[in-house]
A and B are shown apart, each in its own frame.
Chain A
Protein backbone atom coordinates (compact mmCIF):
# COMPACT_ATOMS: atom_id res chain seq x y z
CA UNK A 1 0.00 0.00 0.00
CA UNK A 2 1.39 3.32 -1.01
CA UNK A 3 1.19 6.21 1.44
CA UNK A 4 1.48 9.04 -1.09
CA UNK A 5 -2.23 9.37 -1.78
CA UNK A 6 -2.00 12.05 -4.38
CA UNK A 7 0.77 10.66 -6.58
CA UNK A 8 -0.27 7.03 -6.54
CA UNK A 9 -0.43 5.68 -10.08
CA UNK A 10 -3.71 4.01 -10.91
CA UNK A 11 -2.14 0.55 -11.14
CA UNK A 12 -1.36 0.71 -7.43
CA UNK A 13 -4.98 1.36 -6.45
CA UNK A 14 -7.07 -1.43 -4.97
CA UNK A 15 -9.05 -3.31 -7.57
CA UNK A 16 -12.39 -1.74 -6.67
CA UNK A 17 -11.08 1.74 -7.30
CA UNK A 18 -9.37 0.89 -10.53
CA UNK A 19 -12.62 -0.47 -11.96
CA UNK A 20 -14.26 2.93 -11.67
CA UNK A 21 -13.93 4.56 -15.04
CA UNK A 22 -15.44 7.81 -16.25
CA UNK A 23 -19.12 7.28 -17.04
CA UNK A 24 -20.08 6.66 -20.64
CA UNK A 25 -22.33 9.26 -22.27
CA UNK A 26 -26.03 9.23 -21.39
CA UNK A 27 -26.92 8.31 -24.97
CA UNK A 28 -24.73 5.23 -24.88
CA UNK A 29 -26.37 4.14 -21.63
CA UNK A 30 -29.88 4.48 -23.05
CA UNK A 31 -28.80 2.61 -26.16
CA UNK A 32 -27.52 -0.31 -24.10
CA UNK A 33 -30.71 -0.40 -22.07
CA UNK A 34 -32.84 -0.47 -25.23
CA UNK A 35 -30.66 -2.79 -27.25
CA UNK A 36 -30.30 -5.61 -24.78
CA UNK A 37 -34.00 -6.65 -24.74
CA UNK A 38 -34.15 -6.17 -28.49
CA UNK A 39 -31.13 -8.40 -28.91
CA UNK A 40 -32.79 -11.05 -26.73
CA UNK A 41 -35.93 -10.91 -28.88
CA UNK A 42 -33.84 -11.21 -32.04
CA UNK A 43 -32.00 -14.26 -30.71
CA UNK A 44 -35.31 -15.78 -29.67
CA UNK A 45 -36.85 -15.18 -33.11
CA UNK A 46 -33.88 -16.64 -34.98
CA UNK A 47 -33.44 -19.71 -32.77
CA UNK A 48 -37.19 -20.42 -32.85
CA UNK A 49 -37.38 -20.19 -36.64
CA UNK A 50 -34.26 -22.24 -37.07
CA UNK A 51 -35.78 -24.88 -34.82
CA UNK A 52 -33.17 -24.71 -32.05
CA UNK A 53 -35.87 -24.12 -29.41
CA UNK A 54 -39.26 -25.77 -29.19
CA UNK A 55 -41.82 -23.51 -30.91
CA UNK A 56 -44.64 -25.21 -29.01
CA UNK A 57 -43.39 -23.73 -25.72
CA UNK A 58 -41.44 -20.74 -26.95
CA UNK A 59 -43.21 -19.50 -30.07
CA UNK A 60 -41.30 -16.94 -32.08
CA UNK A 61 -41.91 -13.33 -30.98
CA UNK A 62 -43.39 -12.56 -34.39
CA UNK A 63 -46.14 -15.13 -33.86
CA UNK A 64 -46.86 -13.72 -30.40
CA UNK A 65 -47.22 -10.27 -31.93
CA UNK A 66 -49.56 -11.78 -34.50
CA UNK A 67 -51.67 -13.45 -31.77
CA UNK A 68 -51.70 -10.18 -29.84
CA UNK A 69 -52.81 -8.26 -32.89
CA UNK A 70 -55.59 -10.77 -33.64
CA UNK A 71 -56.84 -10.57 -30.06
CA UNK A 72 -56.83 -6.78 -30.25
CA UNK A 73 -58.61 -6.49 -33.62
CA UNK A 74 -61.34 -8.98 -32.70
CA UNK A 75 -61.92 -6.98 -29.48
CA UNK A 76 -61.44 -10.07 -27.30
CA UNK A 77 -58.45 -8.71 -25.43
CA UNK A 78 -60.04 -5.35 -24.73
CA UNK A 79 -63.23 -7.02 -23.51
CA UNK A 80 -61.41 -9.14 -20.94
CA UNK A 81 -58.99 -6.37 -20.01
CA UNK A 82 -61.90 -4.08 -19.18
CA UNK A 83 -63.44 -6.74 -16.97
CA UNK A 84 -60.24 -7.36 -15.01
CA UNK A 85 -59.64 -3.62 -14.75
CA UNK A 86 -63.17 -3.15 -13.40
CA UNK A 87 -62.67 -5.84 -10.76
CA UNK A 88 -59.30 -4.38 -9.79
CA UNK A 89 -60.75 -0.88 -9.45
CA UNK A 90 -63.82 -1.97 -7.51
CA UNK A 91 -61.83 -4.30 -5.27
CA UNK A 92 -59.25 -1.58 -4.55
CA UNK A 93 -62.05 0.79 -3.59
CA UNK A 94 -63.90 -1.73 -1.43
CA UNK A 95 -60.74 -3.03 0.25
CA UNK A 96 -58.69 0.17 0.30
CA UNK A 97 -61.04 2.82 1.66
CA UNK A 98 -62.07 0.94 4.84
CA UNK A 99 -58.48 -0.24 5.28
CA UNK A 100 -57.08 3.28 5.25
CA UNK A 101 -59.76 4.57 7.61
CA UNK A 102 -59.40 1.66 9.98
CA UNK A 103 -55.59 1.78 9.86
CA UNK A 104 -55.54 5.49 10.67
CA UNK A 105 -58.02 4.96 13.51
CA UNK A 106 -55.87 2.15 14.87
CA UNK A 107 -52.83 4.37 14.71
CA UNK A 108 -54.64 7.08 16.64
CA UNK A 109 -56.38 4.96 19.25
CA UNK A 110 -54.43 2.66 21.50
CA UNK A 111 -57.59 0.80 22.51
CA UNK A 112 -58.63 0.11 18.95
CA UNK A 113 -55.10 -1.05 18.24
CA UNK A 114 -55.13 -3.39 21.23
CA UNK A 115 -58.47 -4.81 20.13
CA UNK A 116 -57.83 -5.28 16.42
CA UNK A 117 -54.11 -5.75 15.96
CA UNK A 118 -54.13 -9.39 17.18
CA UNK A 119 -56.91 -10.29 14.74
CA UNK A 120 -55.10 -8.73 11.82
CA UNK A 121 -51.76 -10.18 12.85
CA UNK A 122 -53.29 -13.65 13.20
CA UNK A 123 -55.00 -13.67 9.81
CA UNK A 124 -52.26 -11.86 7.90
CA UNK A 125 -49.92 -14.84 7.38
CA UNK A 126 -52.68 -16.90 5.77
CA UNK A 127 -52.02 -17.03 2.03
CA UNK A 128 -54.94 -15.04 0.65
CA UNK A 129 -55.20 -17.36 -2.33
CA UNK A 130 -56.22 -20.12 0.11
CA UNK A 131 -59.35 -18.14 0.88
CA UNK A 132 -60.76 -18.40 -2.61
CA UNK A 133 -62.81 -21.60 -2.08
CA UNK A 134 -64.39 -19.99 0.97
CA UNK A 135 -65.13 -16.83 -0.98
CA UNK A 136 -66.70 -18.88 -3.77
CA UNK A 137 -68.88 -20.50 -1.16
CA UNK A 138 -69.91 -17.16 0.31
CA UNK A 139 -70.18 -15.00 -2.80
CA UNK A 140 -70.89 -17.61 -5.45
CA UNK A 141 -69.47 -17.81 -8.93
CA UNK A 142 -70.45 -14.24 -9.82
CA UNK A 143 -68.50 -10.98 -9.56
CA UNK A 144 -68.53 -10.99 -5.77
CA UNK A 145 -65.88 -13.64 -5.21
CA UNK A 146 -63.42 -12.04 -7.64
CA UNK A 147 -63.86 -8.53 -6.30
CA UNK A 148 -63.57 -9.86 -2.74
CA UNK A 149 -60.23 -11.48 -3.60
CA UNK A 150 -58.85 -8.17 -4.87
CA UNK A 151 -60.29 -6.35 -1.87
CA UNK A 152 -58.64 -8.72 0.60
CA UNK A 153 -55.29 -8.34 -1.14
CA UNK A 154 -55.53 -4.54 -0.94
CA UNK A 155 -56.99 -4.47 2.57
CA UNK A 156 -54.19 -6.08 4.56
CA UNK A 157 -51.35 -4.05 3.14
CA UNK A 158 -53.31 -0.82 3.30
CA UNK A 159 -54.48 -1.29 6.88
CA UNK A 160 -51.09 -2.19 8.35
CA UNK A 161 -49.25 0.54 6.47
CA UNK A 162 -51.81 3.18 7.41
CA UNK A 163 -51.50 2.25 11.07
CA UNK A 164 -47.72 2.30 10.88
CA UNK A 165 -47.95 5.63 9.09
CA UNK A 166 -49.50 7.23 12.16
CA UNK A 167 -47.25 5.42 14.62
CA UNK A 168 -44.09 6.37 12.74
CA UNK A 169 -44.74 10.11 13.09
CA UNK A 170 -41.93 11.76 15.05
CA UNK A 171 -43.37 12.65 18.50
CA UNK A 172 -41.78 16.10 18.31
CA UNK A 173 -44.49 17.08 15.81
CA UNK A 174 -47.15 16.20 18.40
CA UNK A 175 -45.26 18.33 20.93
CA UNK A 176 -45.20 21.24 18.49
CA UNK A 177 -48.94 20.96 17.95
CA UNK A 178 -49.57 20.81 21.69
CA UNK A 179 -47.43 23.85 22.49
CA UNK A 180 -49.40 25.85 19.93
CA UNK A 181 -52.62 24.87 21.66
CA UNK A 182 -53.88 22.18 19.25
CA UNK A 183 -56.88 20.17 20.42
CA UNK A 184 -57.24 16.49 19.65
CA UNK A 185 -59.08 17.04 16.38
CA UNK A 186 -56.48 19.65 15.33
CA UNK A 187 -53.72 17.13 15.98
CA UNK A 188 -55.47 14.54 13.79
CA UNK A 189 -56.06 17.05 11.00
CA UNK A 190 -52.73 18.86 10.99
CA UNK A 191 -50.28 16.17 12.13
CA UNK A 192 -51.58 12.59 12.10
CA UNK A 193 -53.24 12.54 8.68
CA UNK A 194 -50.60 14.39 6.65
CA UNK A 195 -47.82 12.65 8.56
CA UNK A 196 -49.24 9.21 7.80
CA UNK A 197 -49.96 9.90 4.14
CA UNK A 198 -46.63 8.71 2.69
CA UNK A 199 -47.01 5.27 4.26
CA UNK A 200 -50.74 5.13 3.48
CA UNK A 201 -49.92 5.53 -0.19
CA UNK A 202 -47.02 3.08 0.01
CA UNK A 203 -49.50 0.56 1.44
CA UNK A 204 -51.97 1.21 -1.36
CA UNK A 205 -49.22 0.82 -3.94
CA UNK A 206 -48.28 -2.60 -2.59
CA UNK A 207 -51.96 -3.48 -2.11
CA UNK A 208 -52.87 -2.81 -5.73
CA UNK A 209 -50.07 -5.12 -6.86
CA UNK A 210 -51.24 -7.89 -4.55
CA UNK A 211 -54.86 -7.24 -5.52
CA UNK A 212 -54.03 -7.82 -9.18
CA UNK A 213 -52.23 -11.09 -8.41
CA UNK A 214 -55.18 -12.41 -6.44
CA UNK A 215 -57.74 -11.11 -8.91
CA UNK A 216 -56.08 -12.82 -11.87
CA UNK A 217 -55.70 -16.01 -9.86
CA UNK A 218 -59.40 -15.96 -8.97
CA UNK A 219 -60.25 -15.46 -12.63
CA UNK A 220 -58.21 -18.50 -13.58
CA UNK A 221 -59.96 -20.68 -11.03
CA UNK A 222 -63.53 -19.54 -11.18
CA UNK A 223 -64.53 -17.06 -13.86
CA UNK A 224 -65.80 -16.97 -17.41
CA UNK A 225 -64.07 -13.71 -18.31
CA UNK A 226 -61.16 -11.49 -17.43
CA UNK A 227 -57.44 -11.79 -18.18
CA UNK A 228 -57.02 -14.72 -15.77
CA UNK A 229 -59.73 -16.63 -17.58
CA UNK A 230 -58.10 -15.79 -20.91
CA UNK A 231 -54.74 -17.11 -19.71
CA UNK A 232 -56.31 -20.30 -18.47
CA UNK A 233 -58.29 -20.96 -21.63
CA UNK A 234 -55.21 -20.24 -23.75
CA UNK A 235 -53.45 -23.00 -21.85
CA UNK A 236 -56.40 -25.37 -22.17
CA UNK A 237 -56.69 -24.80 -25.92
CA UNK A 238 -52.91 -24.89 -26.27
CA UNK A 239 -52.76 -21.52 -28.01
CA UNK A 240 -49.36 -20.72 -26.62
CA UNK A 241 -48.85 -17.51 -28.60
CA UNK A 242 -52.06 -16.08 -27.09
CA UNK A 243 -50.85 -17.15 -23.65
CA UNK A 244 -47.75 -15.02 -24.11
CA UNK A 245 -49.78 -12.14 -25.50
CA UNK A 246 -52.14 -12.12 -22.48
CA UNK A 247 -49.20 -12.40 -20.09
CA UNK A 248 -47.77 -9.30 -21.68
CA UNK A 249 -51.04 -7.40 -21.29
CA UNK A 250 -51.35 -8.50 -17.64
CA UNK A 251 -47.85 -7.23 -16.97
CA UNK A 252 -48.70 -3.89 -18.54
CA UNK A 253 -51.85 -3.66 -16.41
CA UNK A 254 -49.79 -4.27 -13.27
CA UNK A 255 -47.29 -1.63 -14.29
CA UNK A 256 -49.95 0.94 -15.10
CA UNK A 257 -52.00 0.39 -11.93
CA UNK A 258 -48.95 0.93 -9.72
CA UNK A 259 -48.09 4.04 -11.78
CA UNK A 260 -51.55 5.42 -11.10
CA UNK A 261 -50.88 5.20 -7.36
CA UNK A 262 -47.51 6.86 -7.93
CA UNK A 263 -49.19 9.76 -9.69
CA UNK A 264 -51.69 10.00 -6.85
CA UNK A 265 -48.79 10.10 -4.41
CA UNK A 266 -46.98 12.84 -6.23
CA UNK A 267 -50.16 14.86 -6.15
CA UNK A 268 -51.04 14.19 -2.50
CA UNK A 269 -47.53 14.16 -1.03
CA UNK A 270 -45.75 17.02 -2.78
CA UNK A 271 -43.43 17.52 0.20
CA UNK A 272 -41.50 14.30 -0.22
CA UNK A 273 -38.10 14.86 -1.70
CA UNK A 274 -37.56 11.34 -2.95
CA UNK A 275 -40.44 11.10 -5.45
CA UNK A 276 -39.26 8.15 -7.45
CA UNK A 277 -38.41 8.58 -11.13
Chain B
Protein backbone atom coordinates (compact mmCIF):
# COMPACT_ATOMS: atom_id res chain seq x y z
CA UNK B 1 0.00 0.00 0.00
CA UNK B 2 1.07 3.56 -0.47
CA UNK B 3 3.80 4.72 1.76
CA UNK B 4 4.12 1.52 3.74
CA UNK B 5 7.21 0.54 1.80
CA UNK B 6 9.15 3.29 3.50
CA UNK B 7 11.94 3.39 0.93
CA UNK B 8 11.34 7.10 0.29
CA UNK B 9 9.71 7.79 3.64
CA UNK B 10 10.05 11.28 5.03
CA UNK B 11 11.72 9.69 8.02
CA UNK B 12 10.72 11.87 10.95
CA UNK B 13 7.04 11.05 10.61
CA UNK B 14 7.66 7.32 10.44
CA UNK B 15 4.59 5.52 9.17
CA UNK B 16 1.91 7.85 10.39
CA UNK B 17 -1.05 7.66 8.10
CA UNK B 18 -2.88 10.75 7.03
CA UNK B 19 -5.71 8.90 5.41
CA UNK B 20 -6.94 5.36 4.89
CA UNK B 21 -9.48 4.18 2.39
CA UNK B 22 -10.81 0.72 3.20
CA UNK B 23 -12.92 -1.32 0.78
CA UNK B 24 -14.92 1.66 -0.48
CA UNK B 25 -17.66 1.05 -3.04
CA UNK B 26 -20.07 3.51 -4.59
CA UNK B 27 -23.09 2.96 -6.83
CA UNK B 28 -25.03 5.43 -8.88
CA UNK B 29 -28.57 4.93 -9.99
CA UNK B 30 -29.08 5.64 -13.67
CA UNK B 31 -32.75 5.27 -14.43
CA UNK B 32 -33.54 1.59 -13.83
CA UNK B 33 -29.90 0.50 -13.87
CA UNK B 34 -27.43 0.66 -11.08
CA UNK B 35 -23.96 1.67 -12.02
CA UNK B 36 -21.02 0.58 -9.92
CA UNK B 37 -18.64 3.54 -9.92
CA UNK B 38 -16.14 2.37 -7.32
CA UNK B 39 -15.55 -1.24 -6.43
CA UNK B 40 -13.73 -2.18 -3.26
CA UNK B 41 -11.09 0.54 -3.39
CA UNK B 42 -8.47 0.43 -0.67
CA UNK B 43 -5.26 2.37 -0.14
CA UNK B 44 -3.62 4.45 2.51
CA UNK B 45 -1.28 7.35 2.46
CA UNK B 46 1.40 8.49 4.83
CA UNK B 47 1.52 11.98 6.23
CA UNK B 48 3.26 14.42 3.88
CA UNK B 49 3.04 12.24 0.79
CA UNK B 50 1.83 13.30 -2.63
CA UNK B 51 -0.48 10.69 -4.14
CA UNK B 52 -1.65 11.10 -7.73
CA UNK B 53 -4.62 9.11 -8.98
CA UNK B 54 -4.77 8.49 -12.72
CA UNK B 55 -7.09 6.41 -14.82
CA UNK B 56 -9.24 6.44 -17.91
CA UNK B 57 -12.08 8.93 -17.88
CA UNK B 58 -15.12 7.60 -16.09
CA UNK B 59 -13.06 5.48 -13.71
CA UNK B 60 -14.56 7.12 -10.65
CA UNK B 61 -11.48 9.07 -9.59
CA UNK B 62 -13.43 12.28 -9.13
CA UNK B 63 -16.13 10.36 -7.24
CA UNK B 64 -13.47 9.01 -4.92
CA UNK B 65 -12.18 12.50 -4.27
CA UNK B 66 -15.69 13.80 -3.63
CA UNK B 67 -16.23 11.03 -1.08
CA UNK B 68 -12.98 11.99 0.66
CA UNK B 69 -14.14 15.63 0.68
CA UNK B 70 -17.45 14.67 2.27
CA UNK B 71 -19.48 15.74 -0.78
CA UNK B 72 -20.70 12.20 -1.48
CA UNK B 73 -21.16 9.16 0.72
CA UNK B 74 -19.77 5.75 -0.09
CA UNK B 75 -22.21 2.84 -0.08
CA UNK B 76 -19.73 0.47 1.48
CA UNK B 77 -16.37 0.67 3.16
CA UNK B 78 -14.66 3.09 5.48
CA UNK B 79 -12.76 6.33 5.18
CA UNK B 80 -10.41 7.34 7.92
CA UNK B 81 -8.78 10.74 7.95
CA UNK B 82 -6.33 11.53 10.72
CA UNK B 83 -8.18 13.89 13.06
CA UNK B 84 -6.49 17.23 13.48
CA UNK B 85 -6.02 18.94 16.81
CA UNK B 86 -8.59 21.72 16.45
CA UNK B 87 -11.58 19.75 15.18
CA UNK B 88 -11.84 21.56 11.85
CA UNK B 89 -12.34 19.69 8.59
CA UNK B 90 -8.99 18.04 7.95
CA UNK B 91 -9.26 18.22 4.16
CA UNK B 92 -9.60 21.15 1.76
CA UNK B 93 -10.40 20.78 -1.90
CA UNK B 94 -9.28 22.54 -5.07
CA UNK B 95 -11.83 22.02 -7.83
CA UNK B 96 -11.36 21.41 -11.52
CA UNK B 97 -13.65 24.12 -12.82
CA UNK B 98 -13.73 27.76 -11.97
CA UNK B 99 -14.81 27.71 -8.34
CA UNK B 100 -13.66 31.07 -7.01
CA UNK B 101 -16.66 33.08 -5.79
CA UNK B 102 -17.22 35.86 -8.34
CA UNK B 103 -18.92 38.04 -5.72
CA UNK B 104 -15.93 38.16 -3.40
CA UNK B 105 -12.63 39.94 -3.78
CA UNK B 106 -9.49 37.82 -3.99
CA UNK B 107 -8.85 38.51 -0.31
CA UNK B 108 -12.36 37.53 0.79
CA UNK B 109 -12.15 34.39 -1.32
CA UNK B 110 -8.87 33.31 0.26
CA UNK B 111 -10.14 34.19 3.74
CA UNK B 112 -13.42 32.33 3.19
CA UNK B 113 -12.66 29.17 5.14
CA UNK B 114 -11.27 31.20 8.03
CA UNK B 115 -14.34 33.44 8.04
CA UNK B 116 -16.57 30.37 8.38
CA UNK B 117 -14.51 29.35 11.40
CA UNK B 118 -15.20 32.70 12.98
CA UNK B 119 -11.63 34.00 12.72
CA UNK B 120 -11.66 37.78 13.20
CA UNK B 121 -11.46 40.13 10.24
CA UNK B 122 -7.98 41.44 10.88
CA UNK B 123 -6.46 38.05 11.57
CA UNK B 124 -8.04 36.29 8.63
CA UNK B 125 -7.08 39.07 6.24
CA UNK B 126 -3.50 38.91 7.46
CA UNK B 127 -3.47 35.18 6.88
CA UNK B 128 -5.15 35.56 3.49
CA UNK B 129 -2.67 38.19 2.40
CA UNK B 130 0.20 35.90 3.35
CA UNK B 131 -1.20 33.19 1.08
CA UNK B 132 -1.97 35.63 -1.69
CA UNK B 133 1.72 36.54 -1.63
CA UNK B 134 2.74 32.88 -1.63
CA UNK B 135 0.83 32.22 -4.84
CA UNK B 136 2.18 35.38 -6.44
CA UNK B 137 -0.99 37.47 -6.52
CA UNK B 138 0.32 40.42 -4.53
CA UNK B 139 -1.50 43.59 -5.52
CA UNK B 140 -4.68 41.77 -6.50
CA UNK B 141 -6.11 41.51 -2.96
CA UNK B 142 -9.05 43.77 -3.76
CA UNK B 143 -9.60 42.61 -7.33
CA UNK B 144 -12.69 40.65 -8.30
CA UNK B 145 -12.25 37.32 -10.10
CA UNK B 146 -13.60 38.66 -13.41
CA UNK B 147 -10.50 40.83 -13.56
CA UNK B 148 -8.22 37.77 -13.35
CA UNK B 149 -7.04 35.22 -15.91
CA UNK B 150 -7.90 31.53 -15.60
CA UNK B 151 -4.50 30.73 -14.11
CA UNK B 152 -4.78 33.53 -11.57
CA UNK B 153 -8.22 32.31 -10.50
CA UNK B 154 -6.80 28.85 -9.95
CA UNK B 155 -4.04 30.40 -7.82
CA UNK B 156 -6.77 32.01 -5.70
CA UNK B 157 -8.40 28.62 -5.37
CA UNK B 158 -5.10 27.07 -4.24
CA UNK B 159 -4.46 29.87 -1.76
CA UNK B 160 -8.00 29.45 -0.40
CA UNK B 161 -7.34 25.78 0.27
CA UNK B 162 -3.92 26.35 1.89
CA UNK B 163 -5.25 29.22 4.03
CA UNK B 164 -7.31 26.91 6.26
CA UNK B 165 -4.13 24.92 6.97
CA UNK B 166 -5.64 21.53 6.11
CA UNK B 167 -3.79 18.30 6.81
CA UNK B 168 -4.92 16.87 3.50
CA UNK B 169 -5.30 18.70 0.19
CA UNK B 170 -7.65 17.18 -2.35
CA UNK B 171 -7.09 18.40 -5.90
CA UNK B 172 -9.41 17.46 -8.72
CA UNK B 173 -7.67 18.07 -12.06
CA UNK B 174 -6.99 21.64 -10.96
CA UNK B 175 -4.85 22.54 -13.98
CA UNK B 176 -6.68 20.78 -16.78
CA UNK B 177 -8.27 23.96 -18.11
CA UNK B 178 -5.03 25.94 -18.21
CA UNK B 179 -2.56 26.47 -21.02
CA UNK B 180 0.67 24.50 -20.84
CA UNK B 181 2.98 27.25 -19.60
CA UNK B 182 0.64 28.28 -16.81
CA UNK B 183 0.09 24.64 -15.91
CA UNK B 184 3.81 23.95 -15.60
CA UNK B 185 4.33 27.01 -13.41
CA UNK B 186 1.43 26.09 -11.13
CA UNK B 187 2.60 22.46 -10.95
CA UNK B 188 5.92 23.70 -9.65
CA UNK B 189 4.25 25.96 -7.11
CA UNK B 190 1.94 23.27 -5.79
CA UNK B 191 4.82 20.82 -5.62
CA UNK B 192 6.97 23.28 -3.66
CA UNK B 193 4.20 24.60 -1.40
CA UNK B 194 2.96 21.17 -0.41
CA UNK B 195 6.55 20.12 0.30
CA UNK B 196 7.28 23.22 2.43
CA UNK B 197 4.00 22.95 4.32
CA UNK B 198 4.25 19.18 4.80
CA UNK B 199 0.82 18.67 3.32
CA UNK B 200 -0.57 15.33 2.34
CA UNK B 201 -1.94 15.69 -1.18
CA UNK B 202 -4.33 13.55 -3.18
CA UNK B 203 -4.28 14.80 -6.73
CA UNK B 204 -6.54 13.50 -9.48
CA UNK B 205 -5.48 13.92 -13.10
CA UNK B 206 -5.75 12.22 -16.46
CA UNK B 207 -2.28 13.39 -17.42
CA UNK B 208 0.45 10.79 -17.01
CA UNK B 209 3.05 13.52 -17.25
CA UNK B 210 1.45 15.42 -14.39
CA UNK B 211 1.24 12.23 -12.33
CA UNK B 212 4.98 11.52 -12.67
CA UNK B 213 6.18 15.11 -12.22
CA UNK B 214 4.14 15.67 -9.07
CA UNK B 215 3.57 12.35 -7.35
CA UNK B 216 5.48 10.41 -4.74
CA UNK B 217 3.09 7.62 -5.61
CA UNK B 218 0.85 7.10 -8.59
CA UNK B 219 -2.29 5.07 -8.19
CA UNK B 220 -3.58 3.74 -11.51
CA UNK B 221 -7.27 2.93 -11.55
CA UNK B 222 -9.16 0.53 -13.76
CA UNK B 223 -11.96 1.46 -16.08
CA UNK B 224 -15.46 1.43 -14.59
CA UNK B 225 -16.07 0.08 -12.04
CA UNK B 226 -13.04 1.86 -10.59
CA UNK B 227 -10.63 -0.44 -8.79
CA UNK B 228 -7.01 -0.02 -7.78
CA UNK B 229 -5.03 -1.44 -10.68
CA UNK B 230 -1.49 -0.68 -9.62
CA UNK B 231 0.37 1.54 -7.21
CA UNK B 232 3.66 2.85 -8.54
CA UNK B 233 6.37 4.58 -6.53
CA UNK B 234 7.99 7.58 -8.15
CA UNK B 235 11.65 7.56 -7.13
CA UNK B 236 12.34 11.28 -7.63
CA UNK B 237 13.25 13.16 -4.46
CA UNK B 238 11.39 16.22 -3.36
CA UNK B 239 11.63 19.21 -3.47
CA UNK B 240 11.50 18.58 -7.15
CA UNK B 241 12.05 20.53 -10.34
CA UNK B 242 8.96 19.60 -12.35
CA UNK B 243 10.65 20.41 -15.64
CA UNK B 244 14.04 18.91 -14.80
CA UNK B 245 12.40 15.65 -13.79
CA UNK B 246 11.29 15.09 -17.37
CA UNK B 247 14.92 14.85 -18.48
CA UNK B 248 15.53 11.96 -16.08
CA UNK B 249 15.82 8.64 -17.95
CA UNK B 250 13.52 7.02 -15.37
CA UNK B 251 10.79 9.48 -16.43
CA UNK B 252 10.42 7.82 -19.83
CA UNK B 253 10.30 4.34 -18.32
CA UNK B 254 7.63 5.37 -15.83
CA UNK B 255 5.64 7.06 -18.55
CA UNK B 256 5.76 3.93 -20.64
CA UNK B 257 4.77 1.74 -17.69
CA UNK B 258 1.79 3.87 -16.68
CA UNK B 259 0.72 4.33 -20.27
CA UNK B 260 0.63 0.56 -20.77
CA UNK B 261 -1.55 0.13 -17.70
CA UNK B 262 -4.02 2.80 -18.81
CA UNK B 263 -4.01 1.64 -22.44
CA UNK B 264 -5.04 -1.83 -21.31
CA UNK B 265 -8.01 -0.31 -19.54
CA UNK B 266 -9.01 1.97 -22.36
CA UNK B 267 -8.92 -0.89 -24.87
CA UNK B 268 -10.90 -3.13 -22.60
CA UNK B 269 -13.59 -0.52 -21.95
CA UNK B 270 -16.00 -0.55 -19.04
CA UNK B 271 -16.83 -3.89 -17.46
CA UNK B 272 -20.51 -4.41 -17.09
CA UNK B 273 -21.76 -6.15 -14.01
Binding site for B on A (CB under 8 A): 172-173, 175-182, 186, 190-191, 194-195, 197, 269-273
Contact = CB atoms under 8 A, between A and B. Distances in A.
A175 B89 contact: no
A49 B99 CA distance: 65
A190 B89 CA distance: 18
Contact of A178 (B71, B104, B147): B71
Interface in B65-111: 69-71, 88-89, 91-93, 95, 97-99, 101-104
Nearest to A270: B144
B116 interface: yes
B144 A179 contact: no
Nearest to B92: A179
B125 interface: no
A196 to B, nearest CB: 10
Nearest to A183: B116
Contacts of A190: 101, 112, 115-116
Contact of B95 (A176, A182, A197, A269): A176
B103 A197 contact: yes
Nearest to B98: A172
B116 A273 contact: no
24 contacts: A176-B93, A176-B101, A178-B70, A179-B70, A179-B93, A180-B89, A180-B92, A180-B113, A181-B88, A181-B113, A181-B116, A186-B116, A190-B101, A190-B112, A190-B115, A191-B101, A194-B101, A194-B103, A195-B103, A270-B144, A271-B103, A271-B144, A272-B146, A273-B147
Contacts, number: 61
B91 A179 contact: yes
B85 to A, nearest CB: 16
B145 interface: yes
B71 A271 contact: no
A181 B89 contact: yes
A25 B114 CA distance: 52
Interface string B140-161: 0000111100000000000000
Contacts of B93: 175-176, 179
A176 B99 contact: yes
A195 B117 CA distance: 21
Shortest 9 CB-CB distances between A and B: which pairs?
A194-B103, A273-B146, A180-B113, A271-B144, A179-B93, A172-B99, A271-B103, A181-B89, A179-B69
A206 B147 CA distance: 28
A88 B113 CA distance: 43
Nearest to A174: B71
A271 B113 contact: no
B164 interface: yes
A180 to B, nearest CB: 4
Q: Which of A179, A197, A269 has the most CB of B within 10 A?
A: A179
A182 B116 contact: yes
A204 to B, nearest CB: 18
Contacts of B145: 271
B61 to A, nearest CB: 16
Contacts of B103: 194-195, 197, 269, 271
A41 B113 CA distance: 61
Contacts of A270: 144
B78 to A, nearest CB: 20
A271 B153 CA distance: 14
A197 B103 CA distance: 9
Given A176-B99, A190-B115, 4 more contacts: A175-B69, A176-B101, A190-B112, A269-B103
Q: Which of A175, A197, A270 has the most CB of B within 10 A?
A: A175
A271 B145 CA distance: 8
Nearest to A182: B116
Interface in B206-252: none
A179 B117 CA distance: 12
Nearest to A197: B103
A269 B103 CA distance: 8
B234 to A, nearest CB: 27
Contact of A180 (B98, B102, B116, B146): B116
Interface in B34-71: 69-71
A174 to B, nearest CB: 9
A180 B95 contact: no
Given A194-B103, A195-B103, A271-B103, A179 B89 contact: yes
A271 B99 contact: no
Q: Which of A173, A191, A197 has the most CB of B within 10 A?
A: A173
A175 B62 CA distance: 13
Contacts of B71: 175, 178-179
Q: Which of A177, A270, A271 has the most CB of B within 10 A?
A: A271
A75 B70 CA distance: 67
